[in-house]
Amino acid sequence: MAQEDKEKIKEIIEEDIWGSIKEFLDLGFHYTSGDSSIHITIGNLLLITIAFIITSFILQWVRRFFTRKMETDDKLKFISIFKFIKYLVYIVVILFTMSAAGIDITILITASAALFVGLGLALQDLFQDIIGGIFIIVDKSLRVGDIIEVDGKVGKVFEIKLRTTRAITRDDKIIIIPNHHFISDIVYNYTQNHKTTRESVKVGVAYGSDVQLVTKILEGLVKEQRGVLKSPKPFVIFEDFGDSALLFSLNFFISDSFSDPRIKSELRYKIDAAFRKNNITIPFPQRDVHIYQQTPFQHSNAQTDTKQ
């Protein structure tokens, strides 16, 4: 009697309860075309969801494992790369889960081939930016705080992301630079090797000026200028004999090249005042025009000539 009851309970569980669950999981969209078929059911969607959750948990554990001993800057860079890898892993897991669940994904891939090609052509710049971002992060060719010059604009980098790099200019404007510029274009990095940079202020004086006095004035002014480093020592170069002036350059070193326009401006004010005090002239471009006339100028009346 007990054996019969056990068999009845087992039959009820297998046929009624499990059968109902199976019927519920098989509900969904079914499409068949020849030998190929697509089945999108509640069970398949549930399986994909579970696989997605498990994959997310594993990826989160992997990220924590690799970043546990990293510095904050390196950790942020690794997370940026990891986000791109995570999306690729999600796509692979979803496709693999669909295939394991009995869904024929060949039709889906074939139908989407043209779409993938179109997306690839449309998003090639995006892929270049992402690859450029990975190179920047891996080889550390650019860091937060670096001062760069792109397309004639100088900015200080404050954020490096996987697709773009952001920098703030000297007039407090934000430059958003696609990362592929750093692998395809020439970019000046003022602080790649160190924070110290050499700057210069150029000035011309009139012919006949005392060049030794000019040199002495320039050297004295730069030594008193705030923001200019004492070492390496500033120096003056007599560059050339120009068309209208004797050309000098005042060279000095600073530790914050982002603020060099302000320092250069202050030096120019001081140079102008010192030259005025010492009667040293800063000339403007001049040209002498000489007219040579070989024969006397003859005037003819055009109207008279026409009437004749």
Instruction: Say whether pLDDT at 85 is over 70.
Output: yes
- pLDDT-wise least confident of 15-24, 118-127, 155-164: 15-24
Write down the pLDDT at residue 94: 73
Residue tagged 């004749």 (tokens) = 308
To the nearest whole percent, how much of the chain has pLDDT over 90? 26
What's the pLDDT score for residue 115? Answer: 62
CATH architecture of 139-189: Roll (2.30)
Out of 109-113, 193-197, 238-242, 263-267, least confident range? 109-113
User: Where is pLDDT greater, at 217 or 289?
Assistant: 217
Q: Is the pLDDT of residue 179 over 50?
A: yes
For residue 308, the model assigns a pLDDT of 47
Look at the domain 197-278 and name its fold.
Alpha-Beta Plaits (3.30.70)
Domain with CATH 2.30.30.60 in the chain: 139-189
pLDDT of residue 114: 61
Which residues are CB-contacts of 234 (< 8 A; sequence separation ≥ 6)?
Answer: 219, 222, 223, 228, 250, 251, 252, 253
Q: What is the pLDDT of residues 208-255, one digit of tens each?
A: 999 999 999 999 999 999 999 998 999 999 999 988 899 999 999 998
Write out the DSSP string of 188-229.
EETTSS-S-EEEEEEEEE-TT--HHHHHHHHHHHHHH-TTB-
Pinpoint the residues of the chain covered by CATH 3.30.70.100.
197-278
pLDDT recorded at residue 222 = 93
Cα–Cα distance measured from residue 56 to residue 64, given in angstroms and rounded to the nearest whole number: 12
Q: What pLDDT, on a 0 to 100 scale, did the predictor assign at position 160? A: 83
Q: What is the pTM of this model?
A: 0.56
pLDDT in tens, 90-147: 777 777 766 765 666 666 666 566 666 666 666 677 778 877 877 787 777 788 888 8
Would the pLDDT of 60 be above 90? no
Average pLDDT over residues 169-188: 87
Longest pairwise C-alpha distance within the chain: 145
Q: How confident is the model at residue 35 (pLDDT cuts 50, 70, 90)?
A: low
| Confidence (pLDDT) at 140 | 75
pLDDT at 14 over 50: yes
Q: What pLDDT is recorded for position 32?
A: 59
| Neighbouring C-alpha atoms within 13 Å toward the C-beta of 98 | 19
What phi-psi label fits residue 167: left (phi over 0), alpha (psi between -120 and 50 degrees) or beta?
Answer: beta
pLDDT top residue among 45 and 252? 252
Nearest-angstrom CA–CA distance, 141 and 136 = 5
Report residue 70 CA to chain centroid gap. Answer: 23
Q: pLDDT digits over 276-288, tens only?
A: 999 999 988 777 7
Q: What is the mean pLDDT of residues 34-50?
A: 68
